[in-house]
Structure 1
Amino acid sequence: MLVDDEAMVREATQQWLTICGFHVVSLSSAEQALKHLDDAWPGVLLTDVRMPGMDGLELMREVQTRIPDLPVILLTAHGDVDMAISAMHEGAYDFIEKPYVPDRLAETLQRACDKRRLTLENRRLHQDLASRSGLASKLIGISPAISRVRDEILLLGQLNTNVIIYGETGTGKELVAQCLHEFSPRSNKPFVPINCGAIPESLIESELFGHEAGAFTGANKRRIGKFEYASGGTLFLDEIESMPVNLQVKLLRALQEGVIERLGSNQSIPVDLRVVAAAKVDLRDEEQFREDLFYRLCVSELHLAALRDRLDDVPLLFAHYVARAATDHQREPRPLSDHDISALQSYAWPGNVRELKNVAIRFALDHRTSAAELLSRGQAPQITPRINQRGLPLAVQVAEFEAQAIRLCLKKHQGNIKLVMDELDLPRRTLNQKMQRFGINRSEFVTDEMP
């Protein structure tokens, strides 16, 4: 929104910004602007300072009262610079001195628009989380990949078929299995998980089928196995690719016949259950996995995308786990900054949702550390370049990269400006200007150990 009482200046500015790709609402007075602005305004306010009636400063203050997070940029004459700097302390996003450099105006507006977009996106995240119910509150996300999984769960949940879930470590295979159970006719019966890769080979048969007293050394009393306990409900076999070959035969028989025998017993016990298996690799390619067992299990398949392939879900998931951690530890939920969201959506997430959850908990409990700093701890940060995945102009992508490079260098040198200047090959004035432009505060990176 452009507000200027001089018609020629207003028209020329509007034409230039339109050429730069902005949609411009052009108005001649502050009073008109206030009638148009509301909390959902998707852009920013660019206003001249000296206008008849309500001037630009009064307009800025009124907007800050009504819409505190709306970026306001002031157009000032040369003699108003001191006043504009004072307005920056009051919360103005930036000021542009007349006669302005067109490219600088467009670049400043683009950064302000990007900030506004991220603010509204952050707000939408919290509203989305608060409004979710049912399956959407358990499998959180807005990406096509997670939407497809939710649709498949609602379909498969009503079918009494075995299912194999494929996905990398940490993608939430057990949570998806639980959802399959909860949205099925078996939901009032047990959901019984067992990790085939975490139980010693000598004990896994007893875990699955149970044993009688005296069946082997240490078997002092009868024990009900997972198959028998899950009867009527769902048995979840995680990391099924780790199941020993000799046990695969017994598992196949139990699934085919619908009966099991406890170790040390000859009595057949009927069981009625649904088996949901999970694997990190395609079982068709596993030479040690029996083909007949595969076809018995693989009536249906679900494939879970890695988190790096659904980065649009990351802010929503992160906000969810931050809010949960804050509730668990009786703390106020910590809001995500624009820089936090950008860092989260630029990270590769090798540990998938499990890693994201751990980072979110640390973020919720440590109010001194940003998300970007948490992601860069330990080994080098695993940042993946997002080549215009959000449709941002090149100038904005370059600005994001510059800001990230400066922050990482300041962190590396604990806020030592001289070392940062040397490493980035920047003069002091240029570095200061960029830090001011990106809102980077050196004091955040200074530690007690710095000489």
Structure 2
Amino acid sequence: MNDALPVMIIDDEEHLRFTVAQTLELAGYQPLTYQSAEAALADLDHDFPGVLISDIRMPGMDGMMLLREVHQRDPDLPVVLITGHGDISTAVEAMRQGAWDFLEKPFPGERLEEVVKRGIDKRRLSLENRYLKAELEAQQSAPGPRLVGRTPAIQRLAAMVQRISQVETDVLLFGETGAGKDLVARAIHERSSRSAKPFVAINCGAVPESIIESELFGHEKGAFTGAVERRVGKFEYANGGTVFLDEIESMPLSLQVKLLRVLQERMVERLGSNIPVPLDIRVIAATKVDLKLASEAGDFREDLYYRLNVVTLPIPPLRERREDIPLLFQHFAAVAASRSGMEAPPLDASGVSVLLAHDWPGNARELRNLAERYVLLGATCDHRLDNLMQGVDSDGGELTLPQQVDLFEKQLISQALDRHRGHVIEVCRQLGVPRKTLYDKLRKHGLKAEHYRHNATP
């Protein structure tokens, strides 16, 4: 996507400006020529997507002064300095001060194109990371657990979570292992009027069958051997708040009858007691299997299934919202970095390709574990993302190269639309493509610019 990406050329010599501009135009870039550094700075904005090329020796503001001024505004913007034969020491000093590269006169066109290409790649990566960081900060400013993502699937889920949290109804969450059912349950609770009351999570598959009834409903002193004192159960403890029953398909059939009664009557009796305790709770259940099929097979009570199935929220697996994977990875890396006191290494284009190519059978949990390893080990040569992925299991559902390219292109266009609030001209300028090309790609990927004008905030 090098088409018409801008390159600023700053030199007081007209013939050099013309020669450099002609070479870059033939290479597919958009040359912008300036006779002075002051004129170039007047046109330079914060998100300029290209590269600056400037002669060192110029009247007024010279190349070194321009370098310092540019990096005060944006330290990530690549600046290439043109040096004369006697300016090598100055060029070395410029590199120490952050110049991207230098060109010694006279330089061949191939050398110019190679330096600009590397600078453009660096700039694209810098802007991509800047955008991801800004979007993460915007999403992290929202109260409660965050549903990170821009795909239609996660946006629909976020809208449903917001709507359901405002009404009193039990909820059934359906999704694969690691898809984030616990996060969605907490998001519903935190956005509801019950947020100040307890959120009690119970993994029905992790509690031994012999004690799960006591854990849920509590018991009186002497109710059974070892019951030396009264114990309040999870349901009673959660009074006024939310009970989250994870892996509800693992609950014993004998206990499902009692759970059904609790859900219908909103009362619980401790083991060893005949006195019902009124409950004011919301119940959120989660399952990774189809409870309808489980009930037909006799593995789950049909009446309990229909009682839970008031509102069902499907949680999309990660492979069905691949465009969210880089953003979600950055989110997990930022959390891990904050917790460990370390800095999260930047995610480069090859890393994004590795993330998009994986099938993620473990979903968001698998991605989070990878992000934590990435932060703790660092993006060193031995611990690059592709090397870290070698220890991750896959179901073999990798994407082909054309699919990865299409997905990466769609992600870049979607992020540019979001950043510029759907303004097509600004998107064309950032991506360096003509308007017709952009509209063709919008149709190809099913994107509509007007959606980003109305949905400015994730």
Query: What TM-score does the superposition give when structure 2 sets the normalisation length?
Result: 0.71
Q: CA deviation at 1:305?
A: 2.7
What is the distance in 2 between the residues matched to 1:60 and 1:296?
68
Q: Which amino acid aligns with 2:100?
A: Y
Asked whether 1:193 is paired with 2:193, we answer: no
Equivalent residue in structure 2 for 1:98, among 100, 107, 112: 107
What is the distance in 2 between the residues matched to 1:81 and 1:343?
39
Q: Please list every run of 5 or more consecutive structure 2 residues that lacks an aligned counterpart in the other structure.
A: 1-6, 411-458
Greater relative contact order structure (CA < 8 Å, 6+ sep): 2
Q: CA deviation at 1:368?
A: 7.1
Describe the shift of the 1:90–1:190 C-alpha distance in structure 2 as closer, same or farther (beyond 3 A): closer
1:372 aligned partner? 385
Residues 323, 407 of structure 2: 8 Å contact kept: no
2:352 aligned partner? 342
Structural mapping, 1:166-315, within 5 Å = 166-286=174-294, 287=297, 288-315=299-326
Describe the shift of the 1:312–1:75 C-alpha distance in structure 2 as closer, same or farther (beyond 3 A): farther
What is the distance in 2 between the residues matched to 1:68 and 1:308?
36
1:43 aligned partner? 50
Describe the shift of the 1:62–1:160 C-alpha distance in structure 2 as closer, same or farther (beyond 3 A): closer
Q: Deviations over 1:68-116 (max 9, x none)?
A: 2111235678998898677556543345673313xx7556534422321
What is the distance in 1 between the residues matched to 2:162 and 2:384?
34
What is the distance in 2 between the residues matched to 1:152 and 1:230?
24
What is the distance in 2 between the residues matched to 1:388 and 1:84?
40
Describe the shift of the 1:214–1:366 C-alpha distance in structure 2 as closer, same or farther (beyond 3 A): same
What is the distance in 2 between the residues matched to 1:246 and 1:208?
13
Q: Per the alignment, in what secondary structure is the counterpart of residue 407 of structure 2?
A: coil
**Length, aligned pairs only:** 389
Describe the shift of the 1:86–1:272 C-alpha distance in structure 2 as closer, same or farther (beyond 3 A): closer
What is the distance in 1 between the residues matched to 2:250 and 2:17?
70
Q: Deviations over 1:5-61 (max 9, x none)?
A: 555664565466556554443323333222222443232213456766655565445
Structural mapping, 1:297-446, within 5 Å = 297-329=308-340, 331=341, 333-336=343-346, 338=348, 342=352, 345-346=355-356, 348=358, 349-367=360-378, 369=380, 370=383, 372=385, 375-376=388-389, 378=391, 386-391=404-409
Q: Deviations over 1:246-272 (max 9, x none)?
A: 222222222123333333333333323
Aligned-pair identity in percent equals: 51
Equivalent residue in structure 1 for 2:8, among 2, 10, 24: 2
Q: Which amino acid aligns with 1:2?
A: M
Q: CA deviation at 1:67?
A: 2.9
What is the distance in 2 between the residues matched to 1:148 and 1:19?
45
Describe the shift of the 1:77–1:98 C-alpha distance in structure 2 as closer, same or farther (beyond 3 A): farther
1:402 aligned partner? none
User: Is the deviation greater in 194-203 or in 124-133?
Assistant: 124-133
Q: CA deviation at 1:122?
A: 2.2
Describe the shift of the 1:83–1:282 C-alpha distance in structure 2 as closer, same or farther (beyond 3 A): farther
Q: Which amino acid aligns with 1:204?
A: I
Residues 318, 357 of structure 1: 8 Å contact kept: yes
Residues 268, 277 of structure 2: 8 Å contact kept: yes
Asked whether 1:152 is paired with 2:160, we answer: yes
What is the distance in 1 between the residues matched to 2:184 and 2:56?
56
What is the distance in 2 between the residues matched to 1:359 and 1:18?
42
Q: CA deviation at 1:292?
A: 2.3
Q: Per the alignment, in what secondary structure is the counterpart of residue 41 of structure 1?
A: coil
Q: Which amino acid aligns with 2:281?
A: L
Residues 233, 274 of structure 1: 8 Å contact kept: yes
Q: CA deviation at 1:234?
A: 1.3
Describe the shift of the 1:58–1:260 C-alpha distance in structure 2 as closer, same or farther (beyond 3 A): closer
Q: CA deviation at 1:194?
A: 0.4
Q: Which amino acid aligns with 1:354?
A: R
Residues 351, 386 of structure 2: 8 Å contact kept: no
Residues 195, 239 of structure 1: 8 Å contact kept: yes
Residues 233, 273 of structure 1: 8 Å contact kept: yes
User: Is the deviation greater in 8-17 or in 349-358?
Assistant: 8-17
Q: CA deviation at 1:345?
A: 3.9
Q: CA deviation at 1:178?
A: 1.3
Q: Which amino acid aligns with 1:342?
A: V
Q: CA deviation at 1:196?
A: 0.6
What is the distance in 1 between the residues matched to 2:97 and 2:162?
52
Q: CA deviation at 1:277?
A: 0.9
Q: CA deviation at 1:195?
A: 0.3
Describe the shift of the 1:316–1:389 C-alpha distance in structure 2 as closer, same or farther (beyond 3 A): closer
Describe the shift of the 1:307–1:380 C-alpha distance in structure 2 as closer, same or farther (beyond 3 A): closer
User: Is the deviation greater in 43-52 or in 113-122?
Assistant: 43-52
User: Is the deviation greater in 243-252 or in 5-14?
Assistant: 5-14
What is the distance in 1 between the residues matched to 2:308 and 2:147?
24
Q: Which amino acid aligns with 1:153?
A: V
Residues 211, 223 of structure 1: 8 Å contact kept: yes
Q: Please list every run of 5 or more consecutive structure 1 residues that lacks an aligned counterpart in the other structure.
A: 393-451
